[in-house]
Amino acid sequence: MKRKWTDQQLIEAVKESSSYSEVTRRLGISNGSGGAIANVKNGIARLNLDITHWQEKRQQTGIETGKIIYRTETSKRCSICKELKPYEDFFKARKEKDGHTNLCKPCKRDKQRAWQWSQTHGMTQDQYDEMVKNQGGRCAICNRTPEHNRWKKLYVDHRHEDNAPRGLLCSSCNQAIGLFQDNPSLLEEAAAYLRRW
């Protein structure tokens, strides 16, 4: 692979970088290019360039190297709720410089849930909250609050023909009507059966 950079450009890129992949980016080479990093390594070796400052730079910025994350801070600010939280409150993410997501765990879960609702039911978080309020925070069938559920939440029940939301149910009721195939006749037969006993 023919190189597209000069020795001087390589020297400057090495000074400003903290890893081989960062050098390739500064030189305008895609990491996916065949032999890009190999060419950079060969160039560094040929020019006998010093890269000992890279580890110190990683420690300052929190860049992940191998399985070790060098980090001087003990907390970070969530990009959604803007709260400063310990790193334990963030999911791990290898692609991020500090090895953690920019969203705290609760905000990340809320964002994923909102995306799932919008994709499956065409519903926003505000619309879900309004349904919870209208139902008094209780299941539309058994009228219980969701504290007995594992995830402590109400689930969006929907028509299977068009995914239109019908109401919010606890996990038990949601699973039950699913097992009865959303068929009112089967549910009535089940109720009649239970009344006989």
**Cβ-Cβ contacts under 8 Å for 87 (sequence gap 6 or more):** 71, 74, 75, 76, 98, 100
Same domain, 92 and 41: no
Question: In this structure, what CATH number is given to the domain that contains residue 178?
Answer: 3.40.1800.10
Q: How many angstroms separate the CA atoms of 116 and 101, rounded? A: 19
Same domain, 15 and 46: yes
| pLDDT (tens digit per residue) in 107-130 | 999 888 888 878 877 778 788 889
Same domain, 127 and 161: yes
| pLDDT (tens digit per residue) in 9-67 | 888 888 888 777 788 888 887 655 557 778 888 888 888 888 877 766 665 555 444 44
Same domain, 188 and 128: yes
For the cut 50, the answer to whether the pLDDT of residue 88 exceeds it is: yes
pTM for the model: 0.47
- Provide the residue range defining the domain that includes 48: 1-70
Q: Per the structure, how many domains does the chain have?
A: 3
Same domain, 177 and 149: yes
Final residue of a structural domain among 70, 90, 105? 70
User: Mean pLDDT, the chain, as a whole number?
Assistant: 82
Question: In this structure, what CATH number is given to the domain that contains residue 87?
Answer: 3.30.60
Task: Specify the range with the lowest mean pLDDT, choosing from 33-42, 66-75, 164-173.
Answer: 66-75
Residue 105: pLDDT band (50, 70, 90) is very high
Final residue of a structural domain among 120, 137, 153? 120
Q: How many angstroms separate the CA atoms of 164 and 166, rounded? A: 6
**Cβ-Cβ contacts under 8 Å for 136 (sequence gap 6 or more):** none
Q: How many angstroms separate the CA atoms of 11 and 64, rounded? A: 23
Quote the pLDDT of residue 90. Answer: 92
